[in-house]
Amino acid sequence: MIPRLHGPRAGARDSDMGGAYSPKELREKWQAYWEKNETFRAPNPGEPDFDPSRPKAYILDFFPYPSGAGLHVGHPEGYTATDIIARYRRMRGFNVLHTMGWDAFGLPAEQHAIETGRHPAVTTERNIATFRRQLKALGFSYDWRREFATTDAAYYKWTQWIFLQIFNSWYDDEHRKARPIGELPIPPEIAARGEKAVGAYVDSRRLAYLAEVPVNWCPALGTVLANEEVTSEGRSERGDHPVYKRPLKQWMLRITQYADRLAEDLDELDWPESVKLMQRNWIGRSEGAQVRFAIDGHPDALEIYTTRPDTLYGATYMVVAPEHPLVRKITTADHRAAVEQYCAAATQRSELARTAEAKEKTGVFTGAYAVNPVWPEGDARARIPVWVADYVLMSYGTGAIMAVPGGDTRDYEFAKVMNLPIVDVVYPEGVDPKGSLDDREAQIILRLAAKPVAREFLAPAMKAGRLFDLIGTAFVDDGRAANSPPADVKSADVCHLNGLPVFEAKRKITAWLEERGAGRAAVNYKLRDWLFSRQRYWGEPIPILHGPDGALVPLEESELPLTLPEMDDFRPTMRDEGDSSMPEPPLGRARDWATVTRGGKSYKRELNTMPQWAGSCWYYLRFCDPWNDKRFVSAEAERYWMVSLRKDGRPHTGGVDLYMGGAEHAVLHLLYARFWHKVLYDLGYVSTPEPFGKLFNQGMIRAFAYKDARGVNHGYDEIEFRDDGTAVLRETGEVLSAAVEKMSKSLKNVINPDDVVAEYGADALRLYEMFMGPLDASKPWNPRDVPGVFRFLQRTWRLIVNEDTGGLSSFVAVGADPVDPLERALHKTIQKVTLDIERMAFNTAISAMMEFVNEAYRVKSIRKDQAERFVIVLSPFAPHLCEELWQRLRGAAWTGSVSKEPWPAWDEKLVVDDEVEIPVQVNGKVVARMMIAKDADEPTVKSAALALPKISERIGDAAIQKTIYVPGRMLNLVVRS
């Protein structure tokens, strides 16, 4: 509900067309016209009206998920922006691909279906119909012929097909690309072991593989979840249910193979830096070393990964994750009970729950000792205890660490709790650990210190190697190695790091380790392989059969699509919290469907379905050629719509020319889609290494939420606004507190675009969304501001149309002075709007058009050709109004939609004024203003300025020391005061 403030006339005058501005009638009239004439049809290469001489622009919105709640005003923000760009590009002579479709599989639809007892196919269809109706009401120029949903069998046939391409590929590290599985070289020792061994080897190298992995099992949702779908509190993002770690056999996609390329190729993309950074952080590449520690009196060695091999001399203990396979082997008898108890407790909870709870570090000693390879043979300091602690994660690196409490805050905290020794191995740059401290060194240390420290304590503490005591934590910054090794180590057979800066010490020790076979340089990523199966009904079935012998048999392409079985009961098997029995996917209940007999053998279908991300991983490719039943996209259409050239003539790395959506998909969707795209690229199915060349994140639209004294939220229908702007509860008159919040049902602050369209029209909604502020900023929706842009549309209407007669207004003149003042204003407006659209600054483009209309009212006259050019530049923003004005202005000469008109040009000579007003400053302060010729030279301007009484008064007899003149902008006279 939009509070009706002053009851605009739009609603009242909807019926009497003729002369009044009637958004509703214009909307119906022109939307029918566009549909009938296929105005926004984008012909593909090969279609008769395709014009290959035009450049292409692929302008795409994030695939919406058609929720049951329908659109809210946040959706059309990005859609309006891309629509303006799409319309503008067409008028600039581009072939524009601008499309819309539905990401319709997934958990929310299924949850909703379960709650209402209706089949998800039914509710999905209904939700799509609502979204389509709401979007069409806003007059977006999509080529609706290309619309599809991920739930269409004709679409997910190809989603399954792409899955099979991934399944049938392996990653060739040498050539850094995916290759067909048939080209995988089989090592002779595997081949020697027979067909079964070869099969297992091949399966283990596929980019889609089955693995027994600890997964996030959510009993309440009856499914496993990807790490990304679990909150930092260890609960499900959807529904906030508890999540547990369970080892389960699951489909995984080997996205980690692409970690480096996914990170590197970001450099080439025109994306917001913040998104690139988030992706880089998510991929989390780190360089370090893998080091082998022998276990004292034990054949096994402990492999650890560290980014700080330079601190090896500071390792005073080791930690292994509770799930580490060596734990059972190395734990000594007298520690067994405590260790087993600790590990059992840790594995019960998910990793995420574990980390969330852990305020204080916990752990137990295994009784075993490791041997640090950097110390000389027989040095007692080499022998360090091995602990088990849950602050070390099995899933990162090797699941084991060397603990350097002097150089790592986590190790420091643990060492403090467990009373383990701590030594300094790095000192701040500029501090010499051996000498007596001078003032400069003391300064550096005191700046680091947590608490004030008396000067005389510094030197002794440093000598004793207790820098950490002074600063109250580990020293983690850059600096130089110290005590590495300590002075008393005399052996020649050690690696000397003392005095080296961190980066050099790392290099030296890594080489040293490598020489002795004790370690090697290593790279690690935070990114994990993508958990790809869900125990759910409403998703794409995975097209794989399981043979009686465990063999994995992909379906043939001719067997696709593998459609979902019709089921009455599609609910997941939900479990109680403590229930640890295996989840059973709903598809298992479709007995006839689940079993296939082939060549006398009985095969079981894969019962898991794909996650929601699958369908949105490649939809942008399908839009290029959505009718194709032979291929996921024709090579010709893919090449035409996806390949653009840069200014320097090289092909762009990414195909979509503008990809618009919210920042909430900054990592997951965009990373997954990039991964699929790269696999398709490696296999030769697409022409660009990246899917999206330019990305833009629109900001979130938030709204005021009103709370009463008890903290209860009230919707706009219960509220009245006083003249001073405060909101009061209509029933009681209680003053409500207002705060800008995310729109949500519970806060009762959701604005429905239908209401805005009904009251002010689609053009006003579009215009307001663009006028609110910069597209990428988060902005509050203010219902009071909507009438402002509505008034502008009305003023524009009345400037051109006589409200009484419906003919052209008396302002519209034919034939006048060719360069009248309004002509200059129009050229400035065209320039401003053009440049602003190019940089997606729609708010300032609109204010420029408002200024033009104000100017036209001021001079009370506008030439017909001026009105026509103005209508063209306004038309991408307010298409319904402008179609009508265009038709009325053209009269008998009208030939069709304004959207087919070429974009008007501006004359550079007319956008700069001959005379300009500039400020005159004295010592940088503005003292006076004056008019000058725009190209006047400095002496002229200066003498004119000195003639101004205010200036001469201010300067008096002081001498002018310096004159700064910025031509046409300002003059600054510097005098000694």
Which residues, numbered 316-355, are part of the site for RNA (CB under 7 A)? Answer: 321, 352, 354-355
Per-residue x/- track, 402-441, RNA (CB under 7 A) = ------x-x--x----------------------------
- Judged by beta carbon, residue 597 or residue 977, the one nearer RNA is 977
- Judged by beta carbon, residue 392 or residue 453, the one nearer RNA is 392
Range in contact with RNA (rule: CB under 7 A) among 3-11, 379-387, 425-433, 897-905: 3-11
Residue 297 is which amino acid? G
Calculate the alpha carbon distances from 413 to 10, 360, 416, 448 in Å: 67, 8, 5, 18
- Which residues touch 742 (CB under 8 Å, ≥6 apart)? 700, 702
Cα–Cα dist 642/281, whole Å = 28
- In angstroms, what is the minimal distance from the CB of 924 to RNA? 3
- In angstroms, what is the minimal distance from the CB of 725 to RNA? 6
- In angstroms, what is the minimal distance from the CB of 232 to RNA? 4
- Judged by beta carbon, residue 714 or residue 779, the one nearer RNA is 779
- In angstroms, what is the minimal distance from the CB of 946 to RNA? 17
User: What's CA 47's distance to the chain center, in Å?
Assistant: 36
- In angstroms, what is the minimal distance from the CB of 379 to RNA? 22
- Judged by beta carbon, residue 5 or residue 192, the one nearer RNA is 5
Among 15, 274, 332, 602, binds RNA (CB under 7 A): 274
- In angstroms, what is the minimal distance from the CB of 163 to RNA? 26
Pairing of strands 915-922, 970-975: parallel
Q: Which of helix, strand or coil describes residue 324?
A: coil
Range in contact with RNA (rule: CB under 7 A) among 122-130, 172-180, 208-216, 394-402: 394-402
Among 273, 493, 817, 914, binds RNA (CB under 7 A): 273
Cα–Cα dist 832/958, whole Å = 43
Cα–Cα dist 527/546, whole Å = 29
Cα–Cα dist 684/605, whole Å = 29
- In angstroms, what is the minimal distance from the CB of 697 to RNA? 9
Q: Which two tokens stand for residue 299?
A: 């054949």
CA dihedral defined by 227, 232, 235, 238, rounded to 10 degrees? -70
Report if residue 974 touches RNA, rule: CB under 7 A: yes
Cα–Cα dist 618/910, whole Å = 47
Buried residues in 758-783 as b, exposed as e (16+ CB within 10 A): bbbbbbbbbbbbbbbeebeeebbbeb
Report if residue 798 touches RNA, rule: CB under 7 A: yes
Q: Which two tokens stand for residue 102?
A: 């539905």
Report if residue 841 touches RNA, rule: CB under 7 A: yes
Q: Binding to RNA (CB under 7 A): which residues in 905-934?
A: 916-919, 921, 923-924, 926, 929
Q: Binding to RNA (CB under 7 A): which residues in 500-539?
A: 524, 526
- Judged by beta carbon, residue 502 or residue 560, the one nearer RNA is 502
Report if residue 607 touches RNA, rule: CB under 7 A: no
- Judged by beta carbon, residue 177 or residue 526, the one nearer RNA is 526
User: Quick check: 258 and 176 in contact, CB under 8 A?
Assistant: no
Nearest alpha carbon to residue 745 among 69, 182, 81: 69
User: Quick check: 446 and 453 in contact, CB under 8 A?
Assistant: yes
Range in contact with RNA (rule: CB under 7 A) among 464-472, 599-607, 671-679, 852-860: 852-860
Report if residue 563 touches RNA, rule: CB under 7 A: no
- In angstroms, what is the minimal distance from the CB of 596 to RNA? 40
Per-residue x/- track, 697-726, RNA (CB under 7 A) = --------------------------x-x-
- Judged by beta carbon, residue 574 or residue 667, the one nearer RNA is 667
- Judged by beta carbon, residue 709 or residue 960, the one nearer RNA is 960
Calculate the alpha carbon distances from 678 to 4, 330, 639, 643, 716 in Å: 52, 43, 15, 15, 48
For 800, left (φ over 0), alpha (ψ -120 to 50), or beta? alpha
For 427, left (φ over 0), alpha (ψ -120 to 50), or beta? beta
Name residue, tokens 């926004």: 40
Per-residue x/- track, 73-112, RNA (CB under 7 A) = ----------------------------------------
Buried residues in 733-747 as b, exposed as e (16+ CB within 10 A): eeebebeebebeeeb
- Which residues touch 324 (CB under 8 Å, ≥6 apart)? 388, 394, 399, 400
Question: Total number of residues binding RNA (CB under 7 A)?
Answer: 96
- Judged by beta carbon, residue 58 or residue 475, the one nearer RNA is 475
Calculate the alpha carbon distances from 84 to 40, 141, 609, 758, 846 in Å: 13, 9, 38, 22, 12
Q: Which two tokens stand for residue 517?
A: 């076979």
Report if residue 27 touches RNA, rule: CB under 7 A: no
- Judged by beta carbon, residue 184 or residue 835, the one nearer RNA is 835
Per-residue x/- track, 726-765, RNA (CB under 7 A) = ----------------x-----------------------
- Judged by beta carbon, residue 517 or residue 924, the one nearer RNA is 924
- Judged by beta carbon, residue 85 or residue 564, the one nearer RNA is 85
- In angstroms, what is the minimal distance from the CB of 921 to RNA? 6
- Judged by beta carbon, residue 182 or residue 949, the one nearer RNA is 949
Among 337, 358, 417, 712, binds RNA (CB under 7 A): 358
Cα–Cα dist 557/617, whole Å = 20
- In angstroms, what is the minimal distance from the CB of 489 to RNA? 23
Could you tell me which residues are beta bridge partners of residue 242? 235
Among 37, 348, 563, 854, binds RNA (CB under 7 A): 854
- In angstroms, what is the minimal distance from the CB of 572 to RNA? 25
Among 53, 232, 419, 581, binds RNA (CB under 7 A): 232
Q: Binding to RNA (CB under 7 A): which residues in 660-699?
A: 663-664, 666-667
Q: Binding to RNA (CB under 7 A): which residues in 276-315?
A: 277-278, 281-282, 284, 286, 288, 305-308
Among 129, 645, 947, 966, binds RNA (CB under 7 A): 966
- In angstroms, what is the minimal distance from the CB of 651 to RNA? 28
Report if residue 136 touches RNA, rule: CB under 7 A: no
Cα–Cα dist 77/772, whole Å = 10
Cα–Cα dist 357/233, whole Å = 8
Q: Which two tokens stand for residue 370?
A: 């490791």
Q: Binding to RNA (CB under 7 A): which residues in 855-874?
A: 857-858
- In angstroms, what is the minimal distance from the CB of 243 to RNA? 14
Neighbours of 530 (CB within 10 A): 21
Nearest alpha carbon to residue 882 among 897, 892, 894, 863: 897
Q: Which two tokens stand for residue 749?
A: 């602050």
Range in contact with RNA (rule: CB under 7 A) among 178-186, 461-469, 901-909, 967-975: 967-975
Among 574, 851, 933, 936, binds RNA (CB under 7 A): 851
Per-residue x/- track, 762-791, RNA (CB under 7 A) = ---------xxxx--xxxx-x-xx-xxx-x
Range in contact with RNA (rule: CB under 7 A) among 99-107, 186-194, 271-279, 599-607: 271-279
Nearest alpha carbon to residue 214 among 248, 239, 186: 248
Three-state SS sequence of 848-892: HHHHHHHHHHHHCCEEHHHHHHHHHHHCCCCHHHHHHHHHHHHHH
